[in-house]
Amino acid sequence: MIDNLREWFGGLQAREQLLVSIAAVVLVAAMLFLLFEPLFKATERAQQRVAEKTQDLATLGRARSEVAALGGVRNTSAQNSPLVVIIDRFSSSTQLAPFLKRNQPDGNNAIRVTFEAAPFGRLIDFLVELESRHGLVLSNATLNKAETQGTVNASLTLVRTGA
Protein backbone atom coordinates (compact mmCIF):
# COMPACT_ATOMS: atom_id res chain seq x y z
CA MET A 1 0.00 0.00 0.00
CA ILE A 2 2.81 2.39 0.84
CA ASP A 3 4.49 1.46 -2.41
CA ASN A 4 1.27 2.39 -4.25
CA LEU A 5 1.22 5.77 -2.52
CA ARG A 6 4.86 6.41 -3.38
CA GLU A 7 4.24 5.49 -6.98
CA TRP A 8 1.18 7.76 -7.12
CA PHE A 9 3.05 10.62 -5.46
CA GLY A 10 6.04 10.17 -7.79
CA GLY A 11 3.72 10.38 -10.79
CA LEU A 12 2.54 13.87 -9.79
CA GLN A 13 4.06 17.04 -11.19
CA ALA A 14 6.35 19.05 -8.86
CA ARG A 15 3.68 21.66 -8.23
CA GLU A 16 1.10 18.96 -7.36
CA GLN A 17 3.61 17.23 -5.06
CA LEU A 18 4.14 20.51 -3.22
CA LEU A 19 0.38 21.05 -2.89
CA VAL A 20 -0.20 17.47 -1.63
CA SER A 21 2.70 17.81 0.85
CA ILE A 22 1.31 21.07 2.24
CA ALA A 23 -2.16 19.55 2.50
CA ALA A 24 -0.72 16.53 4.34
CA VAL A 25 1.13 18.77 6.83
CA VAL A 26 -2.03 20.85 7.43
CA LEU A 27 -4.08 17.67 7.88
CA VAL A 28 -1.61 16.21 10.39
CA ALA A 29 -1.46 19.55 12.28
CA ALA A 30 -5.28 19.72 12.41
CA MET A 31 -5.50 16.15 13.67
CA LEU A 32 -2.89 16.84 16.35
CA PHE A 33 -4.73 19.99 17.40
CA LEU A 34 -8.06 18.14 17.63
CA LEU A 35 -6.37 15.38 19.60
CA PHE A 36 -4.44 17.50 22.11
CA GLU A 37 -6.66 20.57 22.49
CA PRO A 38 -9.13 18.83 24.89
CA LEU A 39 -6.20 17.62 26.96
CA PHE A 40 -4.82 21.15 27.26
CA LYS A 41 -8.23 22.50 28.27
CA ALA A 42 -8.67 19.74 30.86
CA THR A 43 -5.22 20.52 32.28
CA GLU A 44 -6.07 24.20 32.45
CA ARG A 45 -9.36 23.48 34.24
CA ALA A 46 -7.58 21.17 36.70
CA GLN A 47 -4.98 23.85 37.45
CA GLN A 48 -7.78 26.37 38.02
CA ARG A 49 -9.55 23.97 40.41
CA VAL A 50 -6.29 23.40 42.30
CA ALA A 51 -5.86 27.16 42.67
CA GLU A 52 -9.46 27.51 43.94
CA LYS A 53 -9.02 24.63 46.40
CA THR A 54 -5.75 26.15 47.62
CA GLN A 55 -7.56 29.42 48.23
CA ASP A 56 -10.39 27.55 50.02
CA LEU A 57 -7.82 25.78 52.17
CA ALA A 58 -6.22 29.09 53.13
CA THR A 59 -9.65 30.50 54.02
CA LEU A 60 -10.43 27.46 56.15
CA GLY A 61 -7.06 27.80 57.87
CA ARG A 62 -7.88 31.40 58.80
CA ALA A 63 -11.36 30.37 59.97
CA ARG A 64 -9.84 27.57 62.03
CA SER A 65 -7.55 30.05 63.75
CA GLU A 66 -10.51 32.32 64.49
CA VAL A 67 -12.55 29.43 65.87
CA ALA A 68 -9.65 28.29 68.01
CA ALA A 69 -9.23 31.82 69.33
CA LEU A 70 -12.95 32.10 70.13
CA GLY A 71 -13.11 28.60 71.61
CA GLY A 72 -10.30 29.45 73.99
CA VAL A 73 -12.32 32.28 75.55
CA ARG A 74 -14.73 30.79 78.03
CA ASN A 75 -16.77 32.28 80.79
CA THR A 76 -14.56 31.25 83.71
CA SER A 77 -16.98 32.52 86.35
CA ALA A 78 -19.58 30.11 85.02
CA GLN A 79 -17.09 27.24 84.90
CA ASN A 80 -17.62 26.64 88.60
CA SER A 81 -21.40 27.15 88.52
CA PRO A 82 -23.62 24.10 88.84
CA LEU A 83 -24.56 22.71 85.44
CA VAL A 84 -28.28 23.02 86.21
CA VAL A 85 -27.86 26.77 86.73
CA ILE A 86 -25.83 27.16 83.53
CA ILE A 87 -28.47 25.31 81.50
CA ASP A 88 -31.37 27.25 83.06
CA ARG A 89 -29.76 30.65 82.51
CA PHE A 90 -28.48 29.89 79.05
CA SER A 91 -31.73 28.37 77.81
CA SER A 92 -33.53 31.52 78.99
CA SER A 93 -31.08 33.82 77.22
CA THR A 94 -31.36 31.80 73.98
CA GLN A 95 -35.18 31.65 74.13
CA LEU A 96 -35.21 27.88 74.54
CA ALA A 97 -36.58 27.93 78.11
CA PRO A 98 -40.19 27.21 77.03
CA PHE A 99 -38.99 24.03 75.33
CA LEU A 100 -36.78 22.82 78.20
CA LYS A 101 -38.71 20.04 79.95
CA ARG A 102 -36.05 18.38 82.07
CA ASN A 103 -32.66 19.32 83.40
CA GLN A 104 -31.06 16.61 85.55
CA PRO A 105 -27.45 16.41 86.79
CA ASP A 106 -25.57 13.20 85.98
CA GLY A 107 -22.65 13.32 88.40
CA ASN A 108 -20.52 16.42 88.95
CA ASN A 109 -19.51 17.05 85.33
CA ALA A 110 -22.47 15.90 83.25
CA ILE A 111 -26.12 16.80 82.83
CA ARG A 112 -29.09 15.29 81.00
CA VAL A 113 -31.33 17.79 79.26
CA THR A 114 -34.67 17.20 77.52
CA PHE A 115 -36.30 19.58 75.06
CA GLU A 116 -39.72 19.13 73.48
CA ALA A 117 -40.71 20.71 70.14
CA ALA A 118 -37.59 22.91 70.21
CA PRO A 119 -36.62 24.79 67.03
CA PHE A 120 -33.79 22.74 65.55
CA GLY A 121 -31.67 25.70 64.44
CA ARG A 122 -31.89 27.37 67.83
CA LEU A 123 -31.01 24.09 69.55
CA ILE A 124 -27.88 23.70 67.42
CA ASP A 125 -26.86 27.31 68.14
CA PHE A 126 -27.48 26.61 71.84
CA LEU A 127 -25.13 23.60 71.76
CA VAL A 128 -22.41 25.49 69.90
CA GLU A 129 -22.58 28.39 72.36
CA LEU A 130 -22.58 26.05 75.37
CA GLU A 131 -19.36 24.52 74.14
CA SER A 132 -17.63 27.77 73.25
CA ARG A 133 -18.73 29.76 76.31
CA HIS A 134 -19.04 27.15 79.02
CA GLY A 135 -16.99 24.16 77.90
CA LEU A 136 -20.00 21.83 77.77
CA VAL A 137 -19.79 19.26 74.97
CA LEU A 138 -22.41 16.90 73.67
CA SER A 139 -21.62 13.30 74.61
CA ASN A 140 -24.94 11.68 73.70
CA ALA A 141 -28.00 12.83 71.78
CA THR A 142 -31.34 11.42 70.71
CA LEU A 143 -33.31 13.61 68.32
CA ASN A 144 -36.78 12.90 67.01
CA LYS A 145 -38.84 14.98 64.64
CA ALA A 146 -41.61 16.86 66.44
CA GLU A 147 -45.07 17.51 64.98
CA THR A 148 -44.27 21.09 63.92
CA GLN A 149 -41.94 21.42 60.95
CA GLY A 150 -38.42 22.49 61.93
CA THR A 151 -38.77 21.34 65.53
CA VAL A 152 -37.36 18.34 67.37
CA ASN A 153 -37.70 16.47 70.61
CA ALA A 154 -34.20 16.09 72.01
CA SER A 155 -32.67 14.14 74.85
CA LEU A 156 -29.08 15.33 75.35
CA THR A 157 -26.23 14.49 77.67
CA LEU A 158 -23.68 17.27 78.06
CA VAL A 159 -20.28 16.91 79.74
CA ARG A 160 -18.09 19.70 81.11
CA THR A 161 -14.63 19.62 79.52
CA GLY A 162 -11.50 20.58 81.34
CA ALA A 163 -12.95 19.60 84.67
32-52: pLDDT as tens digits: 999 999 999 999 999 999 999
Task: Assess whether pLDDT exceeds 50 at residue 26.
Answer: yes
pLDDT on residue 45: 94
- Res. 13 pLDDT band, cuts 50 70 90: very high
Cα gap 146→120, rounded to integer Å: 10
pLDDT band per the 50, 70, 90 thresholds, residue 68: low
Which DSSP string corresponds to 87-140? HHHHHHHTT-GGGEEEEEE-SSSEEEEEEEEEEHHHHHHHHHHHHHHH-EEEEE
Average pLDDT value over all residues in the chain: 87
Question: What does the chain come to in residues?
Answer: 163
Instruction: Give mean pLDDT, residues 121-137.
Output: 89
Share of the chain above pLDDT 70, in %: 90
Over 70: is that where the pLDDT of 29 sits? Answer: yes
In degrees and rounded to multiples of 5, residue 117 shows phi and psi of 55, 40
Neighbours of 94 (CB within 10 A): 14
